[in-house]
Amino acid sequence: MLDTLIAGVLRGNVYALGAVGISLVFGVMNVVNFAQFSFFGLGAMLTWFFVARLGLSFWLALPLVLVVCAALGLIINAAVVRPLAKFLPLAAMLSTYAVSLILDNTSQAAFGANSRVFPQVLQTSNLHVGNMRFGTADVVMLGITAGVMIVMSLFLKYGKVGRAIRATAQDQEAALQMGIPVALVQNLSFVIASALGGLAGIFIALYVGVADPTSGLETGMTAFVAATLGGLGSLVGAVIGGFVLGILESFGIYFFGGSADQIIVFVILIAVLIIRPGGLLGKVPLISSEPLTGTFLGKGRPFRIPRWVWPAALAVAAVIVPLIGNDYVLSTGTQVLVYAIIASGFTITAGQAGVMALGQAGPIAIGAYTSALITLYLHVSFWVALPLAGLAAALIASILASPIWGVKGHYISIATLGIGIVIVAVIQLIVPLGVQGIPWPKIGDTVLFTAQDFYFIDLGVLVLTLLVMWRIRRSHLGRVISSVGADEVAALASGVRVRDYKALAFAISAFFAGIGGSLLAHQYTYIDTSIFSMLMSLVVVTIVILGGVNLPYGAVVGSLILIGGLEALRFTDELRIVVYGLVLILVVRFRPGGILVRNS
């Protein structure tokens, strides 16, 4: 038991460091910083490089890593995040994701993709108190963290710059008016956060004994949850959240086994958010501020699309592409179409209801598994399974999401992310080995299995999806859901039951996600849970933001650019995600409202 507690404290230690960085940046910039995740992996790899490759001493490598991470953080913030945060925090969040992709893949290209054994620089079990064993490494890690936290809190409380950071976190505008160099404060916060991320990365390597360039995402996710748990923007909360999560996670694994890991993390998070919607130490204002001024999500007028474009686009998609495209183009086309279906169904949640749900991979997975299992074992026809998959996804996702609709702002994004991850983790528990031999669709006795067949099926479903979304948008219901996204308090005062309409929007999006999942499953004929990753959820969100968060047809354009573009870059293979990340940053930088939306 005590060993488990120690293991928990050590895990918590890493999470706390990461969470403080995330909370700090969120506080002063109001941006969720995914790039922070990459610093965990980067910190670990750099230490490995300095110690194992260059043969430097660990105590020399440690400050070197921190300096490199800090410098990188400064560059990232000055070049990418800060210019965007001024326009739209959401765009900035996306760009940090792009940065994270670039960092991870550059690191992979530089150090190689496989994980490296980290040399044992410090003893790991040379000490004991009673029958509790631990090592110098553990003492050093906890000691450094304690030191960092004490210095940080003194700095924030009494330091001149520390005070400036706190002032900026409370009210950026007012801080600027009082002559606080907000730009400097933000840069500094980013630098501190990056260094902390690097430090956490070193600790991961020390603790696990393995350095892995992609280890960042999962640890980063948990650190992020820790920051949310404590209350985004609250540094004490971040530390508490980190340790609470680390310890509970350790005990959870002790009792339920390692596969329960993520389920535990997110169940804790969702439970806390339901009881305290602003996290443990965060405060949610009684009435959200009146958004008369300031920036609105989805502000900006979409470009007027001439009527002839629609039949023309349909003709190109239904006639010209199948005629001139080869199998490769068509199978890329099916991917584009499926993501367009999922994303255009998602616009009602993300755009109209204003809930930036981050866990769409969950309902997609439900759809895929439902369809795969009932066609395989119950011999249901694909054409029946397809709508059933959508219904199952909508039903299960709605039940799981039902407690969270009172949660507000960024927290609801995190809660939905949690739901998505929990869904996939539970599926992994139930169906551990994946499903293979998923039958192809049939019409009569004709089996549909070519790229062209799937292309037409997907196109048909997409047209139906767009039609439904168009009908909803034009209806009274559509306006009511839009009002929920625009201003909840005013919507309530107009007699609109806000929570119900959010739930309905989410159910509609989950339905189309399930449909998309079913289509994917029958094209792949083999699925396992690794397909339905967090990356998939983020891709859906990215598509929607690229196309314009409020435009169902924008999702088609977004999907073309993102899925099609990613495919088109395949010739550079290793660098394609880097190139893609750069393109994403540029697009978001110059069209923050979406490709089809005029800048305002």
Interface positions with other proteins (CB under 8 A): 286-287, 290-292, 296-299, 301, 468, 471-472, 475-480, 482-483, 485-487, 489-498, 500-501, 503-504, 508, 550
- Determine the longest span between alpha carbons in the chain, in angstroms: 80
Closer Cβ to other proteins, 267 or 496, answer by number:
496
| Residues 480, 494: Cα–Cα separation, whole Å | 10
Q: Smallest Cα–Cα separation from 597: which of 295, 300, 296, 297?
A: 300
Residue 170 or 436 having the CB closest to other proteins: 170
Smaller CB distance to other proteins: residue 335 or 550? 550
448 neighbors 442 (Cβ within 8 angstroms): yes
Of 296 and 524, the one with the shorter C-beta distance to other proteins is 296
d(CA 538, CA 536): 5
Please identify, using beta-carbon distances, which residue of 471 and 570 lies nearer to other proteins. Answer: 471
515: closest CA among 445, 466, 451, 444? Answer: 466
Task: Report how many helices (DSSP H) and strands (DSSP E) the chain contains, helices first.
Answer: 26, 8
User: Closest distance between other proteins and the C-beta of residue 468, in Å?
Assistant: 6
- Distance between CA atoms of residues 356 and 199, nearest Å: 31
CB of 111 to other proteins, least distance (A): 46
Report phi then psi at 495, rounded to 5. 85, 20
Between helix 136-158 and helix 235-256 the angle, nearest 10°, is 150
- Least Cβ distance, residue 407 to other proteins (angstroms): 17
Burial of 171 (C-beta count, 10 Å sphere; 0-12/13-18/19+)? exposed
Q: Which residue, 180 or 392, is less far from other proteins as judged by CB?
A: 392
Minimum CB separation of residue 600 from other proteins in Å reads: 9
Q: Is residue 598 left, alpha or beta, with left meaning phi > 0 and alpha meaning psi from -120 to 50? A: beta
Please, what is the minimum distance in Å from the beta carbon of residue 470 to other proteins?
10
Phi, psi of 222 (to 5 degrees): -65, -40
What is the rounded CA–CA span in Å between residue 286 and residue 446? 61
> Of the two residues 320 and 464, which places its CB atom closer to other proteins in the complex?
464
Q: How far is the CB of 98 from other proteins (least distance, A)?
A: 26
Tokens of 493: 């005062």
- Whether the CB-CB separation of 363 and 514 falls below 8 Å is answered with yes
Closest distance of CB 595 from other proteins, Å: 18
Nearer CB in complex with other proteins: 41/485: 485
Nearer to other proteins, 146 or 305 (CB): 305
Taking the least distance from each CB to other proteins, the nearer of 369 and 405 is: 405
Q: Which is nearer to other proteins, 1 or 493 (CB)?
A: 493
As measured in angstroms, the least distance from the Cβ of 28 to other proteins is: 26
Q: Of 146, 31, 35, 20, give the one whose Cα is nearest residue 99.
A: 35
Using the minimum distance from each CB to other proteins, give the nearer residue, 205 or 507: 507
> How far apart are the two ends of the chain, measured CA to CA in Å?
59
CA distance 272 to 225: 11
- Nearest-CA neighbor of 148 among 211, 74, 224, 63? 63
As a whole number of angstroms, the distance between CA 586 and CA 80 comes to 9
- Take residue 599 and report the two structure tokens written for it: 């800048």
Q: Provide, rounded to whole angstroms, the least separation between the CB of residue 376 and other proteins.
A: 30
Instruction: Identify which of residues 444 and 495 has a Cβ nearer to other proteins in the complex.
Output: 495
Task: Identify the burial level of 265 via C-beta atoms within 10 angstroms of its C-beta, where 0-12 means exposed, 13-18 middle and 19 or more buried.
Answer: buried
CA distance 423 to 361: 9
Closest CA to 14 of 103, 172, 170, 137: 137
- For residue 555, the minimal CB distance to other proteins (Å) is 17
Between the alpha carbon of residue 289 and those of residues 294, 439, 487, the distances in Å are: 11, 53, 10
Show the DSSP H helices in 450-533 as ranges: 451-474, 476-486, 488-493, 498-524
At closest approach, how far in Å is the CB of 293 from other proteins?
9
The smaller minimum CB distance to other proteins, of residues 300 and 362, is found at: 300
Give the nearest distance from C-beta 590 to other proteins in angstroms.
Answer: 21
Q: How far is the CB of 498 from other proteins (least distance, A)?
A: 8
Shortest separation between residue 155's beta carbon and other proteins, angstroms: 29
